[in-house]
Amino acid sequence: MVIVLIGPMGCGKTRIGKLLAEKTGSLFDDADDFHPPENVEKMRAGIALEDKDRLGWLRILSERINSRLERDTPLVLACSALKQSYRDILGIDQKGVISVYLKGSFELLQKRLSSRTHEYMNDSLLTSQMKTMEEPADGLIVDISGSPEEITDEIIEKLHLTGTNR
């Protein structure tokens, strides 16, 4: 099984993803680590990525997901996957590849961003990401107002996960 944590910057994808992977014995990948240098420079400059910028990146992530599925290796992937078309490329089918949308208000996300630093994500991109975000019609939707531990435990409970999420 692959769990893809989706949502805009500041929603806790990386932190919750690491906790979830640890608690379920899964591998963890952060999609940010797979952006090509051109994308990183755009985001560092506060320039929102366009669909064409994301396509190669999404294909790389899709290959990683498929590789984990073929090997039957549980994976938690932190990936914004803001649009349904991006989630389609990733192969999210709510069976072998499940999405968990970490949902929060613009104000809460802004507050979280003000208390963290990111290697290249410019905080000014939040507005663009919120405008781009297409809320999923399926998958698990989790409110992010709780602590990362509470959110992780809720995901584990609602997806009926154990020490290994196979």
pLDDT, position 157:
96
In the chain, where the domains are located: 2-158
> Which of these ranges, 121-130, 133-142, 156-165, has the smallest mean pLDDT?
121-130
pLDDT, position 11:
93
Looking at the chain, the whole-number percentage of residues with pLDDT higher than 90 is 72
- Asked if 22 contacts 139 with a C-beta cutoff of 8 angstroms, the reply is no
Q: Does 112 have pLDDT greater than 90?
A: no
- Asked if 82 contacts 136 with a C-beta cutoff of 8 angstroms, the reply is no
Label residue 117 exposed, middle or buried (CB < 10 Å: 0-12, 13-18, 19+).
Answer: exposed
Following CA atoms 102, 141, 98, 116 in sequence, which dihedral angle do they give, to the nearest 10 degrees? 0
Looking at every residue in the chain, the average pLDDT score rounds to 90
What's this model's pTM, rounded to 2 decimal places?
A: 0.89
- Asked if 29 contacts 78 with a C-beta cutoff of 8 angstroms, the reply is yes
pLDDT, position 118:
47
Which residues lie below 8 Å from residue 81, measured CB to CB, with a gap of 6+?
4, 6, 87, 90, 92, 99
Tens of pLDDT, residues 56-95? 999 999 999 999 999 999 999 999 999 999 999 999 999 9
Which residues lie below 8 Å from residue 80, measured CB to CB, with a gap of 6+?
6, 7, 8, 9, 13, 31, 86, 129
pLDDT-derived band of residue 163, with 50, 70 and 90 as boundaries?
A: low
> Which of these ranges, 30-39, 56-65, 113-122, has the smallest mean pLDDT?
113-122
Following CA atoms 73, 135, 157, 17 in sequence, which dihedral angle do they give, to the nearest 10 degrees? 50
Domain 2-158: homologous superfamily in CATH: P-loop containing nucleotide triphosphate hydrolases (3.40.50.300)
> Nearest to residue 90, comparing CAs of 4, 160, 1?
4
